[in-house]
Amino acid sequence: MTPKESGLKIRTPLLESQLGDIPLVAKGKVRDIYDLGDALLFVATDRISAFDVILPEGIPGKGAILTALSCYWFNTLALFDGMPKTHLITAEFDHFPEVCQAYRTTLAGRSMLVRKAKPLPVECIVRGYLSGSGWKDYHQNGHISGVKLPEGLIESERLPEPIFTPSTKASIGGHDMNISFAEMKSKIGEDLAEKVRKASLLIYKQASKMAEARGIIIADTKMEFGLDEKTGALLLIDELLTPDASRFWPAASYVPGKTQASFDKQFVRDYLLSINWNGAPPPPHLPDQIIQQTRERYIEALKRLTSPA
């Protein structure tokens, strides 16, 4: 299945994977992680979360779309100088271990075989535009995560330069909190923090150029890094530049000074805000129309970003 096809034909959401005797070692908001001995198996379900709460309904095919986009970026950005190594071994199901082969229906197209790594206890966020929690923080105090910004900026405005704004990494049900780079250095050490910041900015800048050529603005994105359990090397892990972890705006309709149309999870957040959900469990149900329109936005992001420029 090609990146453009992944997830496009899936109509029934997978909310939880079941892989028999293969040990399940972790369950995140979206991914189920299994231990295969020398490697991990990442399975991207169709679960969707908002405000750090998993919603009752899934988005059909979403996990396959996230996997296809992550693999596209992992493989494409690896061609550029200075890019960090990634945890990806393969997403080709036929190359998975024999123990996985009985679960083709569940795994093919939505799973990755990855290197084992110890995740760093921070989220690595790069912002090129002023939106979301960044806009809220700037509006209140003129800075984001300790980064002072020029006065007079407006919502959705392009920043003079992309900025690195780390956050804590909360457990399911908890909330990530923006922290300063100094706080990040205190958590993981100065040298490692500097490497992660440099890598994050490099990834964002290169991906933004590629996306803009395809009519998409990457307003901001979240990355995760870890240390290879065997070598200690820094690895880019989890997902990369997906609609779950990024704000994707159509360039053709971009106008600063207001919220933007998007090809990402912000559409779901906006719906939940419109019905005045306070973000506390239990979450409300998503109407069929919101599910379908979210799916269409994710598919559009996949098509645009993986198409020839």
pLDDT tens-digit readout, 144-184: 999 999 999 999 999 999 999 999 987 665 678 899 999 99
The pTM for the full model equals: 0.94
Instruction: Give me the pLDDT at residue 169, please.
Output: 85
Q: pLDDT > 90: what percent of the chain?
A: 92
Residue given tokens 């300063």 in the structure block: 180
Instruction: Give me the pLDDT at residue 156, please.
Output: 98
Reported as a single tens digit per residue, the pLDDT across 55-89 is 999 999 999 999 999 999 999 999 999 999 999 99
DSSP letter, residue 178: B
Residue given tokens 């000074």 in the structure block: 257
Q: Cα–Cα distance between 134 and 107 in angstroms, integer?
A: 36
> The dihedral of CA 212, 214, 220, 225: what is its sign?
negative
Other CB atoms within 10 A of residue 215 CB: 14
Half-sphere exposure of 133 (CA within 13 A, CB side): 17
Query: Poorest-confidence range of 31-35, 132-136, 172-176?
Result: 172-176
Cis preceding-peptide flag for 283 (omega within 30 of 0): no
Name residue 6's amino acid: S
May I ask the CATH class of domain 119-266?
alpha beta
Decide if pLDDT at 194 tops 70.
yes
Q: Cα–Cα distance between 190 and 151 in angstroms, integer?
A: 29
Decide if pLDDT at 1 tops 70.
no
Q: Cα–Cα distance between 235 and 228 in angstroms, integer?
A: 6
**How large is the average pLDDT for residues 21-32?**
96
Domain ranges of the chain: 119-266
* Cα Rg of the chain, angstroms: 19
Single out the residue of 75, 66, 85, 48 nearest to residue 7, CA to CA. Answer: 66
Mean pLDDT, the chain, rounded, equals: 95
